[in-house]
Amino acid sequence: MPDYVPEAEMAPRDVVARSILYEMTKTGSDKVFLDVTHLPPHLVTARFPHIYRFCLDCGLDITREYIPVAPAAHYLMGGIRTNSWGETSIPGLFASGETACTGVHGANRLASNSLLESVVFSKRMIRRSQMLEKKDCVWHEGKTPGNKNVYLALPSRSALPEVPSLNLSKLQSLMWDKVGIVRLGSGLGETVGILAAWEKVLQPPSDRFSHELNNLVLCARLMAEAALFREESRGAHFRTDFPHSSPAWLKHIIFRKDISGER
């Protein structure tokens, strides 16, 4: 990490993830390694008991061996739009945690803020639901400081001449390759076209797997469309064709079916 940024491994998550990806590409490897072998074994097992046991079950003793790791996508931002009470625009539906866009993280997920979401928003949602039982409450949507939010509906997409058949593995590979840690406008454009085509051929869901696949395609398209529309880099959203942040993009992109109304 010192080869990439002065903060080394204490840099923001998106910077660390991209640095790991660059190193993997440079060396042709599918992993890098964490080293905690310099620490006393009792400290490792006490501080990281779940990781220690998981690795041990896989035949790896992290007190004596390096830990293979690769970037993951859990730090990506976005989610269901909520107000400061955890309410969505659908009456009675609340969202919190990584599924929600509460605004408390900014453009890059902060580790300790998960406690804020778990403790503060959980308590607020309970209080709000109790208020709703007593009287009708109007959902109020907060505005992003600075510029106004952008409201969009999913655009219609022209049919592509060739589209790969849809399955879960191909969807995962497409999103990792084109809408992952490093993004490019041309790849995003190709991705939204494929996802829009897949949406058109989806069958009505009949079991858990088909429900999940339908929802994954929709979530993937929302992410890809937003990434294509946001022509800048900000936090976890990094585009090589727009590598810098722009003050004009200090706003949220909000998708909804009816962009003419207030809800």
The pLDDT of residue 133: 67
Q: Is 13 a catalytic residue?
A: yes
Continuous segment of H or E residues that includes residue 34: strand 32-34
Residues in the chain: 263
The pLDDT of residue 158: 86
Which one from 13, 81, 124, 234 is the annotated catalytic residue? 13
Domains and CATH numbers, the chain: 8-69 (3.90.700.10), 80-142 (no CATH), 152-255 (1.20.58.100)
The pLDDT of residue 12: 85
> CA–CA separation, 244 vs 231, rounded Å?
9
Regions of the chain short of the pLDDT cut 70: 73-76, 111, 133-147, 258-263
Q: Which residues on neighbouring strands pair with residue 152, listed in sequence order?
A: 255
Pairing of strands 253-255, 150-152: parallel
The pLDDT of residue 22: 93
The pLDDT of residue 103: 76
Three-state secondary structure string covering 91-138: CCCECCHHHEECCCCCCCCCCCHHHHHHHHHHHHHHHHHHHHHHCCCC
Question: Is the alpha carbon torsion for 158, 164, 166, 167 positive or negative?
Answer: negative
